[in-house]
Structure 1
Amino acid sequence: MKSILFCTSYIRNEQAWQERYQRWLDYYEDGPIAASKKIMIDDGSPYLPPPDLIKTVPFTAPLSLFNDDKVIVRFDNNLGRQSMSVYPGWWRSFLHSVTLARELGADKIIHIESDAYILSPRLADFINGIESGWHVMWSECYRFPETAIQVVCSDQFEIFEQFKARQPDLNYGDLAENLLPFTSVNRQFKGDRYSEIRRNRGMFRSKKFDGIPLFQESFFRAKIPLDADFVTQALISQQFAFRKDD
Structure 2
Amino acid sequence: MLKRKSTVASRKLYSFYRSPRNWFTLLSLLIIGASCKSEDEKLPILGQREVVTKKVNGKPVTDSVYHTIPDFKFVSQYGDTVTAKNLDGKIYVADFFFTSCPTICPKMKVQLKRVYEKFKNNSQVALLSHTIDPAHDSVPVLKEFADNLGITGRQWLFVTGDKEKIYDIGQGSYMVTAQQDSSAPGGVVHSGAFILVDKEKHIRGIYDGTTEDGVDKLMSDMERLLAEYKR
Same fold (TM over 0.5): no
Larger radius of gyration: 2
More helix per residue: 1 or 2? 2
Band the TM-score falls in, shorter-chain normalisation: 0.3 to 0.5
Length-normalised TM-score, structure 2: 0.33
